[in-house]
Amino acid sequence: MSDLKNTPSTITAMLREAQEAPQVVARLLANNAPLCRDLGERLRASPPPFAVTCARGSSDNAATFVKYLLEIHSGLVTASVGPSVTSVYEARPRMRDALFIAVSQSGRSPDILNLAQAGRDDGALTVALVNDTTSPLASTCEVVLPLQAGPEKSVAATKSFIAALAAGLQLVAHWSQDKELLAALDTLPDVLAKASAADWSSALPLLSDANNLFVVGRGVGFAVAQEAALKLKETSGIHAEAMSAAELMHGPWTLAGDHFPILVLSQRDETLSGVNDLVTKLNEQGVPVVVGGAAEGSAAVKLPSVENVHPYLAPIALIQSFYPLVNAIALARGRNPDNPPRLRKVTETV
């Protein structure tokens, strides 16, 4: 067990729920396989011209992961449409024949529902990745892929976020009938169990003292950089910003320094060379760097990760390892990660 999990006072609802993710994903993969096979067959028979994602908060970070999968693996141009386009501006974007994917834990936010209804009314194939299958979103969308996460009491989403990543990956795997990816998907619960046990406590002193930091990812890993940054904000009161490894070099890295560290999350794929170059340059500039994942080179802290993992599974494993760390960071800063100031579990925006 990780050092971050050995003290009873660290066992928050957030941490307990994060530790349930391997079982949640195992249940999701088993129960949703027939749904994904049927949906994949339908998409192969009538390929959509483009895809649309619709989400807020952690769910929008999961939608980023789905966007990268669809564009890289399926070659499908995918747009994240702001729900306010329909709910506030009362516009009706043309989505006929598109694949529309809404991601939500509660399925109750009015703006998400409004855009989903607009997509269905215009003839899009609407798919909901939602935890509450009795929700209005589940009723609005034509196809529902349940997240199978069960009740989630902590304000900070963990197991439902990981379930949304797994659901998107399962859909893409069955749609493409990629045998290698389908085989890798079967290993995901075991990969997550190993990732949950990884000890990331060596990053605690540096990150818990920071008030500002960047979380860097690239490609399919950018979504978990977004999620890590969001969790640092909401649970720990740290001004964390997700940044692409490529975008960081265009100017923002001038902010980094002794009191502005960088957390790098990386997978072993075509992006790795560029991420390695970034880590080297940051080290040369004396910027404190914490590295989780495949990136190599000198770093202030190198975190352990699960080896020999498919690059599409690696980001999911990294966020699984990150959740105990951010739980510990919040507690070290005197905050309750289950009840962040001014936040509620269900946020209904118009």
Two tokens, residue 343: 């936040």
Q: Does domain 200-333 have CATH number 3.40.50.10490?
A: yes
Domain 13-195: give its CATH code.
3.40.50.10490
Q: Report the chain's mean pLDDT, rounded to a whole number.
A: 92
**Confidence check: pLDDT of 179 > 50:** yes
Other CB atoms closer than 10 Å to residue 89's CB: what's the count? 9
**Confidence check: pLDDT of 343 > 90:** no
| Domain segments of the chain as ranges | 13-195, 200-333
Q: Per-residue pLDDT tens for 165-178?
A: 999 999 999 999 99
What's the CA gap between 69 and 72, in Å, rounded? 5
Mean pLDDT of 136-146: 98
Mean pLDDT of 106-134: 95
What per-residue confidence (pLDDT) applies to 344? 56
What per-residue confidence (pLDDT) applies to 148? 96
What's the CA gap between 336 and 329, in Å, rounded? 10
Q: Kindly provide the b/e burial profile for residues 1-23, where b requires at least 16 CB atoms within 10 angstroms of the residue's own CB.
A: ebebbeeeebebbbbebbbbbbb
pTM for the complete prediction? 0.94
**Confidence check: pLDDT of 92 > 50:** yes
Whether 13-195 and 200-333 share one fold: the answer is: yes
Higher local confidence (pLDDT), 151 or 254: 151
What per-residue confidence (pLDDT) applies to 333? 95
Two tokens, residue 186: 């079967």
Q: Kindly provide the b/e burial profile for residues 207-228, where b requires at least 16 CB atoms within 10 angstroms of the residue's own CB.
A: bbebeebbbbbbbbbbbbbbbb
Mean pLDDT of 186-212: 97
Residues 337, 236: contact at Cβ < 8 Å? yes
pLDDT band at 237 (very low <50, low <70, confident <90, very high): very high
What's the CA gap between 268 and 30, in Å, rounded? 27
